[in-house]
Structure 1
Amino acid sequence: MSESTPPGADAEPPRAGVWGRVRQVTEWGRAEADSLPWVGHLIHEWRRVEVVDRSLAIGAQGLLALLPMLVVVTSLVPDELGKLVGERFSDSMGLTGASADTVQTTVTQDVGSTIGFIGALITLLTASSFSRALQRMHARVHGLSTADASGWIVASLFWLAGFLAFLAAMAAVAWLRDDTGIGGSWWWLLVSLTVQTLFWWWTAHVLLLGLRPYRVLLPGAILSMIGTVALAGASDLFMPPYTNRYLESFGVLGLVLAIATWLIGFAGALVLAAGIGRLLTTIDVLPFRWFRYDAPPSAPAPHDLTPVEIHPTRRKP
Structure 2
Amino acid sequence: MRALRARRALRTLWERVGTAVGRGPAARFLERLVAVNALEAATRLAAQAFLTALPLLMAVAAFVPDTLQNLLADSLRSVVGVRGDVLDQVRRTFTGPGAAKTPSGAVGLLVTLVSATAFSRALQAVCERCWGLPRAAVRVAAWRWLLWLLVWLAALLVQAPLRRGFGTGVVSGLVLSLLSSALLWWWTQHLLLSARVSWAHLLPGAVLAGTGTVLLGYLSRLLMPVAMARGLADFGPLGPVFTLLTWLIVVFLVAVAGLAAGPAVASSAWYARTTRPLRGREPPDGRKPADGPP
TM-score higher than 0.5 here? yes
Alpha-carbon displacement from aligned partner over 1:197-242 (angstroms, at most 9, x marks no partner): 2111111111111111111111111112211111112212221111
Offset at residue 172 of structure 1 (A): 4.3
1:274 and 2:267 correspond: no
Tell me which moved more, 221-230 or 56-65: 221-230
Partners of 2:81 and 2:222 within 8 A in 1: yes
Partner of 1:244: 229
1:208 and 2:224 correspond: no
2-structure distance, mates of 1:56, 1:255 = 17
Structure 1 residues 145 and 152: alpha-carbon distance in aligned structure 2, compared to 1, 3 A threshold: same
Partners of 1:221 and 1:274 within 8 A in 2: yes
Q: Residues 113-128 of structure 1: matches in 2 within 5 Å?
A: 113=100, 116-128=105-117
1-structure distance, mates of 2:29, 2:228 = 33
Partners of 1:283 and 1:289 within 8 A in 2: no
| TM-score, normalisation: structure 1 | 0.76
Partners of 2:78 and 2:160 within 8 A in 1: no
Structure 1 residues 298 and 44: alpha-carbon distance in aligned structure 2, compared to 1, 3 A threshold: farther
Partners of 1:90 and 1:104 within 8 A in 2: no
1:146 and 2:131 correspond: no
Partner of 2:10: none
Q: Residues 163-202 of structure 1: matches in 2 within 5 Å?
A: 163-174=152-163, 177=166, 180=167, 182-183=168-169, 186-202=171-187
2-structure distance, mates of 1:193, 1:53 = 26
Structure 1 residues 168 and 237: alpha-carbon distance in aligned structure 2, compared to 1, 3 A threshold: closer
Partner of 2:9: none
Q: Residues 1-317 of structure 1: matches in 2 within 5 Å?
A: 32=19, 35-113=22-100, 116-146=105-135, 148-174=137-163, 177=166, 180=167, 182-183=168-169, 186-286=171-271, 289-290=274-275, 293-295=285-287, 298=290
CA RMSD, 1 decimal? 2.5
- Equivalent pairs, count: 266
2-structure distance, mates of 1:286, 1:215 = 10
Higher Rg of the two aligned structures: 1
Q: Percent identity?
A: 31
Partners of 1:242 and 1:258 within 8 A in 2: yes
Offset at residue 146 of structure 1 (A): 1.4
Partners of 1:155 and 1:206 within 8 A in 2: yes
Offset at residue 190 of structure 1 (A): 2.8
Runs (5+) with no aligned partner, structure 2: 1-14, 278-283
Offset at residue 140 of structure 1 (A): 0.5
Alpha-carbon displacement from aligned partner over 1:99-130 (angstroms, at most 9, x marks no partner): 12112222343323176121111111111111
Structure 1 residues 280 and 268: alpha-carbon distance in aligned structure 2, compared to 1, 3 A threshold: same
Structure 1 residues 232 and 50: alpha-carbon distance in aligned structure 2, compared to 1, 3 A threshold: same
Offset at residue 42 of structure 1 (A): 1.4
Amino acid at match of 2:223: F
**Helix, strand or coil: the match of 1:113?**
coil
Amino acid at match of 1:125: V
Alpha-carbon displacement from aligned partner over 1:39-93 (angstroms, at most 9, x marks no partner): 3321221111100100000000011011000111122122111211111112211
Amino acid at match of 1:69: L
Amino acid at match of 2:47: A
Partners of 1:57 and 1:133 within 8 A in 2: yes
